[in-house]
Structure 1
Amino acid sequence: MKINFYKRLKRKFFYNHPKIVAPKLLGKYLVVKTYKGKIIVKITETEAYGGTEDDACHVGRFGKTKRTETLFGEVGKAYIYSVHINTYCLNVVCHKKSDAGGILIRAAEPVKGTDLILENLNSKNKKYDIKKLLNGPGKLCKALKINKDLNGEDMVEGNKIYFLEGEKIKKKDIIKTPRINIDYAKKSKNWLWRFVVRSS
């Protein structure tokens, strides 16, 4: 499939509640420029985290802090946090005006730069399963060389990490489930805010 490398997502795409935008992000291309070259992946799994009403979201749990202030800021910015030493999660800030929130990118499939992905994962296995290579937010960040240095990076107008229009995913091809690893949440634990491409 021919990719239009110049048609990037506009900021207005992210001006809505995360639960509305998260399924629309499926099929979009995520581009990361590393010092060895460009990597492009197709997003296949996302989770919405929606502000103060969501007790699974950093905003709902901790309020506005030095760590979470990015989620209150301009949409389309990267929000990156660590869950373990050298294990990171990539989110894009997404919310209505005067609100806060974001979308976690949980999984993707390689489009360009597979050799770099395998190198970053320290994998010499050329017979990889395309659906499992980037299945998990920590693995995705490792494969794309994403760390806290990119926290706050503009994913709309910046050139280090950004989105392309990618492919259109039909509603019938999207599965909705509760989010993963949020047992600490009470009110929002069973909300169907995880979105997965059916074929992934």
Structure 2
Amino acid sequence: MPRKKHDLLVEAANGCDLAIDGRLSRSWFRQGALPLAPQLLGQTVVRRTSEGLIRCRIVETESYVAPLDKGSHAYGNRRTKRTETMFQDGGKAYVYLIYGMHYCLNVVAAELEQAEAVLIRAVEPLSPTDVAWMRIHRPIRSRKTADISNGPGKLCAALQIDKQFDGADLVMGKELWIERGIDIPYEQIVCATRINIPYAEEYADKLWRFYIAGNPYVSVVDKQAVPLSNPARLLETFQTESGE
């Protein structure tokens, strides 16, 4: 009998599968967007720039699961020039432009042809040097340092991530990749509804956004968010209409 996605989530808590140099492996990225999204919290996005390597901790994510999810670009297995990357193998970057001005970084999160992805909504720079280099690419007047990367468009600007990274390999890439970071206890993770997707109809209410509670870099704090550690809520969150 095939394992359900919420079972994979629990099993994966025993540790991440590593590839070279501390990078997360291809097989780890293939487990599906719903179990992968909370596990990405605490992992490290690495971007090689002309200044040097910038490292940031992932603190907020959102899952998008085709073909049933009406919030997904690949709803109904829609294949276009834009969505084709979502059908690639796990561990690839899916980058798209919104509002004609902001790029968004997603992680392709399933087997080839399954079209599941996780949006990276917010990251936290790991050091003052990382902050300084990110400010070069995204100068801000705000005294609140979190404003540099507390949103998907903001973090892409600060890390110089644009359409050229669509399809980039986050396992073996030289300019952009994801490394093993720190483990975030499930007790510190909360689930909430996704942001700005009213068109998703009944899927707009799914608790498929995950973030580290209390982290200042989280883009939107939801007062109705629920703990991931609640077993009943966990099963409800990862239940899909496919019967998994």
Q: Same fold (TM over 0.5)?
A: yes
Q: Distance between the aligned counterparts of 2:112 and 2:124, measured in 1?
A: 32
Q: Check conservation: 1:22, 1:46, Cα contact below 8 A.
A: yes
Residue aligning to 1:50: 65
Q: Distance between the aligned counterparts of 2:191 and 2:141, measured in 1?
A: 34
- Relative distance call for 1:138 and 1:61 in structure 2 (3 A) is farther
Deviating above 4 A after TM superposition, structure 1's stretches of 4 or more consecutive aligned residues are none
Structure 2 residue runs of 5 or longer lacking an equivalent are 1-19, 216-244
Residue aligning to 1:10: 25
Residue aligning to 1:22: 37
RMSD: 1.7
TM-score normalised over the length of structure 1: 0.91
Give how far 1:97 is off. Answer: 5.1
Q: Distance between the aligned counterparts of 2:112 and 2:170, measured in 1?
A: 18
Residue aligning to 1:140: 155
Q: Distance between the aligned counterparts of 1:83 and 1:16, measured in 2?
A: 27
1:129 to 145, 148, 161: 145
Give how far 1:86 is off. Answer: 3.2
Give how far 1:198 is off. Answer: 0.5
Matched residue of 2:155: which SS? Answer: helix
TM-score normalised over the length of structure 2: 0.75
Residue aligning to 1:183: 198
Between Structure 1 and Structure 2, whose CA radius of gyration is higher?
Answer: 2
Structure 1 residue runs of 5 or longer lacking an equivalent are none
Higher helix share: 2
Q: Distance between the aligned counterparts of 1:51 and 1:122, measured in 2?
A: 36
Give how far 1:84 is off. Answer: 2.4
Higher strand share: 1
Give, as a single letter, the amino acid of the residue that structure 2 aligns with 1:171: Y
Mapping for residues 60-139 of structure 1, pairs under 5 Å: 60=75, 63-96=78-111, 98-112=113-127, 113-123=130-140, 127-130=143-146, 132-139=147-154
* Aligned-residue identity in percent: 38
Q: Distance between the aligned counterparts of 2:164 and 2:111, measured in 1?
A: 26
Larger RCO of the pair (alpha carbons < 8 Å, separation 6+): 1
- Relative distance call for 1:65 and 1:114 in structure 2 (3 A) is same
